[in-house]
């Protein structure tokens, strides 16, 4: 990979990892539009570690609080009555589906499911679900229901949101889009759904990135050029990702996800037209 490709990939990853428009879709589409080769699932997973650092830093107070809870559990062996320890446990529960899905469907995820046709379908399907979740959330508010806060998330909420996160293994889904949508359907307000989505990404992205870095280390780190490209893309993704988190959390406090739904459908239409006209090969 050339240095300019790594810079573009890092910017794309940072911009789209946390916005509900699918980073994996853009990391497939942008190189295809520019005539560059597909960077591959391993490269995509590893540069997510850059955005992972952004999440750790942005939510450093939450991470510190959860780390202290983990130490308390190890010291006392008690979880009941400890709100932070329970939240940490629910994050573990929410991570199980994507771990299981990644193991069971690894080959399909890295081959057939990376097709641009599949990406276009998922862009539209999840976009429509996002619109439905916004309608459902606003309907509940009009009926006088109190929306769920972070402290009110229970194990079964975490499991269902985790299942939504597992679907994001398919390019075009968007991990943040799927998890925020699930959170809205389960009665969370938008800021809570987004915040939980970001925190839930910590173990998932860590596991995927480290696994791919180890398993594909000869390919990714086989030359100094590859190492530099991977490092540059990851660092840029981290800085841009931090800005994306701040933007989305502020945006969702004031507005709905409708603009992202429209964008997703427009991108899917562009993909379909491009495939039919031979602009890029699936």
Rounded to whole angstroms, the Cα distance separating 209 from 232 reads 16
The predicted model gives 166-189 an average pLDDT of 93
Q: What is the pLDDT of residue 281?
A: 67
Q: What is the pLDDT of residue 218?
A: 67
Rounded to whole angstroms, the Cα distance separating 119 from 135 reads 24
pLDDT(115) > 80: yes
Q: What does DSSP assign to residue 170?
A: S
Q: Which of 63, 14, 24 is nearest to 242 (CA)?
A: 14
Q: What is the pLDDT of residue 221?
A: 66
Rounded to whole angstroms, the Cα distance separating 8 from 13 reads 9
Q: Which residues of 201-224 are buried (b: 16+ CB within 10 A; e: fewer)?
A: bbbbbbebbebbbeebeeebeeee
Residue 129's SS3 state is helix
pLDDT tens readout for residues 26-84: 887 888 788 888 777 777 777 888 888 999 999 999 999 999 999 999 898 888 878 88
pTM value surpassing 0.85: yes
Bigger pLDDT: 89 vs 36 = 89
282: confidence class by pLDDT, cuts 50, 70, 90: low
| Percent of the chain predicted with pLDDT > 90 | 49
């Amino acid at each position: 990979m050339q240095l300019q490709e790594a810079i573009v990939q890092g910017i794309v990853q940072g911009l789209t990892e946390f916005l509900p428009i699918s980073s994996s879709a853009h990391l497939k589409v942008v190189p295809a539009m520019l005539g560059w080769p597909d960077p591959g699932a391993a490269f995509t997973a590893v540069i997510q570690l850059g955005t992972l650092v952004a999440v750790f830093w942005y939510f450093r107070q939450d991470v510190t609080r959860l780390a202290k809870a983990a130490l308390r559990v190890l010291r006392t062996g008690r979880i009941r009555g400890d709100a932070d320890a329970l939240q940490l446990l629910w994050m573990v529960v929410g991570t199980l589906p994507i771990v299981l899905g990644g193991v069971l469907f690894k080959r399909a995820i890295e081959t057939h499911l990376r097709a641009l046709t599949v990406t276009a379908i998922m862009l539209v399907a999840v976009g429509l679900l996002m619109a439905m979740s916004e309608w459902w959330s606003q309907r509940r508010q009009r009926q006088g229901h109190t929306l769920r806060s972070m402290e009110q998330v229970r194990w079964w909420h975490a499991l269902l949101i985790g299942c939504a996160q597992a679907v994001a293994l398919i390019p075009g889904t968007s991990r943040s889009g799927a998890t925020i949508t699930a959170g809205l359907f389960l009665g969370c307000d938008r800021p809570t759904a987004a915040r939980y989505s970001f925190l839930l990404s910590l173990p998932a992205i860590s596991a995927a990135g480290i696994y791919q870095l180890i398993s594909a280390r000869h390919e990714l780190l086989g030359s100094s050029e590859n190492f530099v490209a991977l490092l540059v893309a990851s660092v840029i993704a981290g800085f841009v990702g931090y800005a994306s988190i701040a933007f989305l959390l502020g945006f969702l406090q004031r507005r709905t996800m409708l603009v992202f739904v429209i964008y997703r459908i427009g991108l899917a239409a562009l993909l379909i037209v491009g495939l039919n006209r031979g602009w890029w090969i699936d």
